[in-house]
Amino acid sequence: MFNLQKKKESSFGVVSADDDQDIEILKYKRASKQGLWFESLRLLRDIFLIVTIFTLLIVFVVQPVVVDGSSMVPELHNGERLIVSKLVYYDIKGFSLGHIERGDIVVFWFPDDPDKSYVKRIIGLPGEMVEIEDGVVYIDGRRLEEPYLNEEFNKSLPDGRSKVKPHYYFVMGDNRDNSSDSRYWGLVPEKYIYGKAFFRYWKPSNLGFIKSGDPQLLEEDIENPEEDEDEEGDDLRAEND
């Protein structure tokens, strides 16, 4: 009458109390505390790494500087903030920010007072003869084309000449009517140059990378240039004392 059949055993096998030994019992309160400590330690580690990297960058790679004065108008203006590459101090030839070229804007300790810093543009390189005639700059007798200049700020450029010694540079401001530079106090030792300006982060309206200005040496020569047998040449500042 009733079709009673024996219930089949489960295919999972026999259930035993020993099976619970491998089950992990979590205490959520303790686990949350441990997780909080772990995340805090990770945060402190990340902060330490960021501070360390930032410190190394400031010491060895880059440095913020403030433009003080108007000697680099129209390229730079008073109060602007720049980032300079300190890699030029190590003279890395294969990297544009690691060495100095003509037209670069550099920051250096003022030779007559190393407590002061100046920002100027590189005009003459080691071993070159820099000559100024009728408001035009000549390098080893070849005219230097300077597209970054504005005639409004260059109306009274004095004549003169200077031989650039090894490991020295001849620098001038772009506002040459109002710039204290190599024309008046001489050359800048290579070891005094501690930064090459490459980025302007303030003011926001002028935010961006700073270019070298792309000065070019033309084939036009000075008429009948006199050879200077003295290694140091006639110092330009002698005509401005």
Strands 105-110 and 113-124: antiparallel
Q: Which residue, 82, 165, 152, 160, is CA-closest to 120?
A: 82
Task: Please indicate whether residue 71 is annotated as part of the active site.
Answer: yes
Task: Please indicate whether residue 120 is annotated as part of the active site.
Answer: yes
Q: Which residues are within 8 A (CB) of 149 and not within 5 positions of it... i.e. 6 or more apart? A: 174, 176
Rg of the chain taking only CA atoms, in angstroms = 34
Q: Which residues are within 8 A (CB) of 102 and not within 5 positions of it... i.e. 6 or more apart? A: 122, 123, 124, 125, 212, 215
Which of the following is catalytic: 120, 162, 163, 196? Answer: 120
Quote the distance between the C-alpha of residue 137 and its chain's center: 27
**Concatenated DSSP letters of 86-119:** GGGGGT-TTSGGGS--TT-EEEEEETTEEEEEEE
Query: Residue 41: how many CA atoms within 13 Å on its side-chain side?
Result: 6
Instruction: Please work out, in degrees rounded to the nearest 5, the angle formed at the alpha carbon of residue 14 by the alpha carbons of 8 and 16.
Output: 150
162 close to 123: Cβ distance less than 8 angstroms? no
- Kindly state the tokens that stand for 52: 């360390």
Q: Which residue, 135, 112, 86, 230, is CA-closest to 182?
A: 112
Which of the following is catalytic: 8, 27, 29, 71? Answer: 71
Catalytic residue numbers, as ranges: 71, 120
